[in-house]
């Protein structure tokens, strides 16, 4: 097929040497096998030293060299048989419904293995060090070991979700909750200005290359439905959308012409295709709009601004709020998760934590309970622009008002003064709120506030957010997080340069930086780099000290 002629999936991961795909098989379900990335440590010549590291891998079949992928055919529907085997529960087949009944699904088992520590061979035997690093851990609900039963319990309590539409069988299940790895979402999507199906598939693959855990398709341009179909059939990660955008396109862009019927038609269409979660701006109510009037930057959520305009034009309550039960019934049928949109998130430091924001948050909490009464999995979206000292309050209020449903924030950006670098202003806030318990971080690219991100912006945004998420996982004490840092630091101290590059989040960039200032042939066998040179390399001198002591 001509459509995807320019996409070469084989090249996607070629800049990640010594990495290969490995699968861990389930003991519970014979057809569940969970993918990991295995990085070989070639510097360790002694057999008693670790020879590999396992890390989480969200890229699906694309990072498996043994699988040939044909975009025009889509990925293998690995969940198909699971769904067929499963006993339906009275018009409802959500993970939450099964969890409440005490049933562990294949999806729950899959994520339990996926979140577990596969690097026990690397475990530091020095328990004193472990204990030192584990003190001061945030008051988190993290267990020492993640079991399928723990996963089930977290989902039953609404503290975690597995977004997985029954019509998206190509999905590799992942879990969003504060007891698990902090996840990262990347936004893609065409616009009226730029639009091509192949371009969007490229952005999807590029997002997977850099570690996106979910992808939101925010298309507002042409061929929205067809584009989304190709994205879903080729995505191993959950796909989220903001159905309001397509609904608005359906009424020719005239906000006043929006209505429940058009919206319902839109979500049914997307539900049938397999969208895994919907951002729904049901928490912005008519009385809240006036609370934003004295703000520095008004309403900065696109969906929020649209609904506010609709309400003020019609002097009517938000139709997403008034039809919320109907929404729940549709989403329950497909097991689509809510991502309750924060229409009133602050768009500037000046507007952080204001009355409008927290009024909406309370309504989102009520809606969360309502969704749970239908067994619909639910997460809650959060800000935005927040100075560091007000971030904790956001997390505390969300946990309190939304009954511990997973929080999913955009950043937050911790200052407004650096457009062009908002991946950094926001990675600071994202790491912090991830540590406090935010379950998923929506990335921000360097183009934020300025334009549509290109490929390099997507990469820079994802890198900054994978860093923020991993820093958060270390700080909240995810039991499998620290092995990666330890492996890299070990390679660094022992001048295993190739291992250090191969273990890096972005191997090629690390290697290029190193090679830039040392002649090629001296690159990889020198116990120093150009930063300090041989005489001033602390690690080199340090090794000599210990050797001296041993003599």
Judged by CB under 8 A, the chain residues 315 through 374 that form the site for a second copy are 347-350, 352-354
Whichever of 159 and 466 has its CB closer to a second copy, that residue is 466
Q: SS3 of 158, please?
A: coil
Considering only 50, 74, 298, 479, the residue that binds a second copy (CB under 8 A) is 298
Selected range binding a second copy among 152-160, 316-324, 363-371, 477-485, rule: CB under 8 A: 477-485
Question: Measured from the CB atom, is 116 or 460 closer to a second copy?
Answer: 460
Question: In angstroms, what is the minimal distance from the CB of 430 to a second copy?
Answer: 9
Rank residues 294 and 325 by Cβ distance to a second copy and give the closer one.
294
* 191/433 Cα distance (integer angstroms): 30
Q: Are 311 and 317 in contact (CB under 8 A)?
A: yes
If binding is defined by CB under 8 A, does position 309 make contact with a second copy? yes
Q: What is the Cα gyration radius of the chain?
A: 24
In angstroms, give the least distance from the CB of 425 to a second copy.
5
For residue 173, the minimal CB distance to a second copy (Å) is: 25
Shortest approach of a second copy to residue 436 CB, angstroms? Answer: 10
CB of 115 to a second copy, least distance (A): 18
Q: Nearest approach, Cβ of 196 to a second copy (angstroms)?
A: 15
Distance CA 536, CA 522 (A): 17
Which tokens hold the place of 403? 């009954």
Q: Residues 221, 190: contact at Cβ < 8 Å?
A: yes
Nearest to 427 by CA among 484, 471, 473: 471
Q: What is the DSSP track for 194-209?
A: S--HHHHHHHHHHHHH
Site for a second copy in 55-94 (CB under 8 A): none
| Per-position x/- string for 169-208, each x denoting binding to a second copy as judged by CB under 8 A, each - no binding | ----------------------xxxx--------------
Q: Compute how many other C-beta atoms are within 10 angstroms of the C-beta atom of residue 125.
A: 6
Least distance from a second copy to the Cβ atom of residue 135, Å: 8
Residue 242 contacts residue 279 (beta carbons within 8 Å): yes
Decide: residue 172, CB within 10 A, 0-12 exposed, 13-18 middle, 19+ buried.
buried
Stretch binding a second copy (CB under 8 A), from 4-12, 257-265, 334-342, 482-490: 482-490
DSSP state of 89: B
Kindly determine how many residues on this chain lie close enough to bind a second copy according to the rule CB under 8 A. Answer: 129
Is 475 a binding residue for a second copy by CB under 8 A? The answer is yes
Q: How far is the CB of 5 from a second copy (least distance, A)?
A: 25
Binding mask of the shown chain, residues 206 to 245, with x at each position contacting a second copy by CB under 8 A: --------------x------------------------x
Is residue 49 within the footprint of a second copy (CB under 8 A)?
no
> 365 vs 429, which CB is nearer to a second copy?
429
The distance in angstroms from the start CA to the end CA of the chain is 69
**253 burial level (CB within 10 Å; 0-12, 13-18, 19+):** exposed
Give the per-residue contact string, 371-410, with a second copy (x = CB under 8 A; - = no).
Answer: --------------x-xxxx-xx-----------------
Q: Give 155 or 356: the residue with its C-beta nearer to a second copy.
A: 356
Give whichever of 181 and 245 is closer to a second copy, judged by the CB atom: 245
Beta bridge partners of 339: 279, 379
Residues 107-126 that bind a second copy (CB under 8 A): 124, 126
- Is 301 among the residues that bind a second copy (CB under 8 A)? yes
Beta-strand relationship, 378-382 and 337-340: parallel
Between 225 and 313, CB nearer to a second copy: 313
Residue ranges in 411-470 that form contacts with a second copy under rule CB under 8 A: 414-421, 424-425, 427-429, 431-432, 435, 446-454, 463-464, 466-468, 470
Least distance from C-beta 489 to a second copy, angstroms? 4
Is 12:19 a contact under the CB 8 Å cutoff?
no
Q: Where are the alpha helices (DSSP H) in 319-454?
A: 319-322, 324-334, 355-373, 391-401, 422-436
The order of strands in the sheet holding 19-25 is 19-25, 33-40, 52-56
Per-residue tokens: 288: 């809240």
Q: How far is the CB of 495 from a second copy (least distance, A)?
A: 11
The C-alpha atoms of residue 456 and residue 203 are separated, in whole angstroms, by: 10
What angle, rounded to 10 degrees, do the helices at 391-401 and 355-373 form? Answer: 30
Tell me the sheet residues that pair with 217: 188, 241
Nearer to a second copy, 177 or 429 (CB): 429
Closest to a second copy by CB, 55 or 405: 55
Which pair of structure tokens corresponds to residue 236? 């191993």
Nearest to 94 by CA among 155, 34, 47: 155
404 versus 422: smaller Cβ distance to a second copy:
422
Shortest distance (Å) from residue 138 CB to a second copy? 6
Sign of CA dihedral 142, 148, 151, 152: negative
Residue choice 68, 131, 520, 531 for contact with a second copy (CB under 8 A): 531
- Of 127-156, binders to a second copy (CB under 8 A) are 129, 132-133, 136-138
Nearer to a second copy, 60 or 446 (CB): 446
The SS3 assignment for 45 reads coil
**In 3-state terms, what secondary structure has residue 504?**
coil
Distance CA 383, CA 347 (A): 8
Site residues for a second copy, window 276-295 (CB under 8 A)?
A: 289-290, 292-294
Question: Quick one: which of 248, 280, 371, 395 contacts a second copy (CB under 8 A)?
Answer: 248
């Amino acid at each position: 097929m001509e459509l995807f002629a320019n996409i070469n999936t084989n090249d996607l991961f070629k800049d990640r040497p010594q990495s290969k795909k490995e699968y861990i098989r389930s003991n519970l379900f014979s057809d569940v096998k969970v993918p990991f990335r295995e990085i070989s440590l070639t510097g360790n010549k002694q057999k008693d030293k670790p020879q590999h590291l396992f890390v989480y891998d969200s890229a699906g079949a694309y990072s498996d060299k043994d699988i040939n992928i044909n975009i025009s055919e889509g990925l293998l529907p690995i969940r198909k048989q699971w769904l067929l085997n499963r006993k339906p529960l009275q018009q409802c087949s959500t993970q939450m419904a099964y969890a409440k009944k005490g049933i562990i699904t294949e999806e729950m088992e899959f994520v339990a293995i996926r979140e577990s520590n596969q690097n026990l061979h690397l475990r530091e035997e020095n328990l004193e060090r472990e204990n030192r690093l584990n003190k001061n851990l945030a008051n988190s609900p993290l267990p020492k070991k993640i079991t399928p039963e723990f996963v089930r319990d977290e989902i039953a309590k609404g503290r975690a979700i597995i977004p997985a539409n029954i019509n998206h069988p190509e999905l590799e299940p992942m879990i969003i909750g504060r007891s698990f790895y902090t996840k990262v979402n990347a936004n893609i999507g065409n616009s009226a200005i730029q639009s091509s199906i192949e371009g969007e598939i490229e952005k999807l693959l590029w997002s997977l290359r850099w570690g996106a855990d979910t992808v939101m398709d925010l298309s507002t341009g042409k061929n929205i439905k067809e584009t989304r179909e190709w994205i879903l059939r080729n995505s191993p990660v959950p796909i989220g959308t903001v159905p309001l955008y397509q609904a608005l396109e359906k009424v020719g862009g005239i906000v006043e012409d929006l209505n429940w019927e058009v919206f319902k038609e839109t979500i049914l269409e997307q539900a049938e295709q397999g969208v895994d979660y919907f951002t729904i701006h049901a928490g912005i109510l008519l009385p809240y709009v006036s609370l934003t009037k004295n703000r520095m930057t008004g309403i900065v959520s696109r969906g929020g601004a649209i609904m506010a305009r609709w309400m003020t034009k019609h002097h009517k309550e938000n139709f997403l709020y008034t039809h919320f039960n109907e929404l729940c019934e549709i989403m329950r049928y497909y097991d689509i998760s809510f991502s309750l949109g924060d229409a009133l998130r602050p768009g500037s430091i000046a507007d952080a934590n204001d009355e409008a924001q927290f009024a909406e948050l309370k309504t989102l909490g009520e809606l969360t309970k309502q969704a749970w009464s239908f067994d619909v999995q639910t997460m809650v979206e959060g800000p935005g622009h927040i100075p560091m000292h007000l971030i904790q309050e956001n997390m505390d209020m969300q946990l309190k008002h939304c009954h511990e449903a997973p929080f999913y924030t955009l950043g937050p950006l911790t200052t407004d003064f650096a457009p062009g670098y908002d991946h950094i202003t926001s990675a600071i806030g994202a790491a912090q709120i991830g540590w406090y318990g935010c379950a998923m971080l929506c990335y921000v690219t360097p183009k934020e506030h300025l334009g549509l991100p290109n490929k390099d912006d997507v990469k820079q945004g994802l890198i900054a957010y994978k860093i923020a998420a991993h820093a958060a996982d270390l700080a909240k004490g995810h039991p499998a997080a620290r092995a990666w840092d330890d492996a890299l630091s070990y390679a660094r101290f022992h001048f295993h340069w190739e291992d250090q590059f191969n273990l890096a989040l972005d191997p090629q960039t690390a290697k290029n930086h190193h090679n830039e200032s040392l002649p090629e042939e001296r690159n990889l066998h020198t116990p120093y780099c150009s930063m300090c040179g041989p005489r001033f390399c602390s690690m080199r001198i340090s090794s000599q000290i210990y050797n001296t002591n041993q003599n």
